[in-house]
Amino acid sequence: MQVPTDILYIEDSEDYIEFMKRAMAKVNNSLRVNVLTDGKGTLQYIEQATSQALPKLILLDINLPDYNGLELLAKIRASKVTRYIPVVMLSSSENPKDIRTAFDSGANAYLVKPMGLAPLTETLNSICNFWLNHHQPVERFAA
């Protein structure tokens, strides 16, 4: 059984996952974060998720071992279940083509991964503050 999740974080780098967990704990220790490390597992998670277990926000890396994160983003947007969940791309890529493709594929935001705990914590604080506290989910206004 899946439990309610605030953030679904999709990242394959174990080092960056640990780094992110430390920063998340500084931002809000009560956030429920589910970490997945590949596209296939993410698609299975989404297919099996109940509406109560769906995340409020998805943080997605581009470079994943099985799916390109941009391909995964397109699949997330194509699903009726997940199409309105905000997706923030967090990537080491500063390539303008990747950034453009991310927005064309439905990303709500694109950020280059901050290096250093303080910059990452500050970035996560801004992301969480906006997307979890101030953003009005589209499904609240659906007819």
Q: How far apart are CA 85 and CA 81, in angstroms?
A: 9
Specify the pTM: 0.89
pLDDT score for 141: 46
- 126/131 Cα distance (integer angstroms): 8
Q: What is the pLDDT of residues 58-115, one digit of tens each?
A: 999 999 988 889 999 999 999 888 889 999 999 999 999 999 999 999 999 999 999 9
For all residues of the chain together, what is the average pLDDT? 88
7-124: CATH topology: Rossmann fold (3.40.50)
pLDDT of residue 1: 46
Half-sphere exposure of 105 (CA within 13 A, CB side): 22
